[in-house]
Every structure is written in C-alpha cells, then in structure tokens.
Amino acid sequence: MWSFTVVKGGAGLEVKVDRGNGTVVEIERKWADDHGGDRTDERDDD
C-alpha cells in the first residue's frame, strides 16, 4: 500500500491506495500543521 497527499490552500487529503488493484482504501483530511508546516487561514474573524 502507498499513500500520497493532495494539498490545496493549506488543507490536504491523504489518499491511501492498494498497490495490488489500485483501489482507494482510505481518504483522510490533513492540515499543514500535521506535517509541521504552516497553515494559513484566509478568513479574518476580527
């Protein structure tokens, strides 16, 4: 099994795929902070 992360705008999806038949096993939402990166929010709540 292998996984890759699709990142757009600070949020990402980690997709785990079965190598044998290429089916998606799991999709998990990730944030940049999970990987030690910076997460920036476009929203300003002030």
Is pLDDT above 70 for 42?
no
State pLDDT tens for residues 1-31: 666 667 666 677 778 888 888 888 888 887 6
Q: Which residues contact 40 (CB under 8 A, 6 or more apart)?
A: 10
CA atoms of 19 and 23, how far apart (whole Å): 8
pLDDT for 10? 65
pLDDT for 28? 82
CA atoms of 39 and 9, how far apart (whole Å): 9
Q: Between these two residues, 11 and 41, which has the higher pLDDT value?
A: 11
Q: Between these two residues, 28 and 43, which has the higher pLDDT value?
A: 28
Tokens of 25: 């096993």
Cβ contact 28:14 at 8 Å? yes
pLDDT for 20? 86
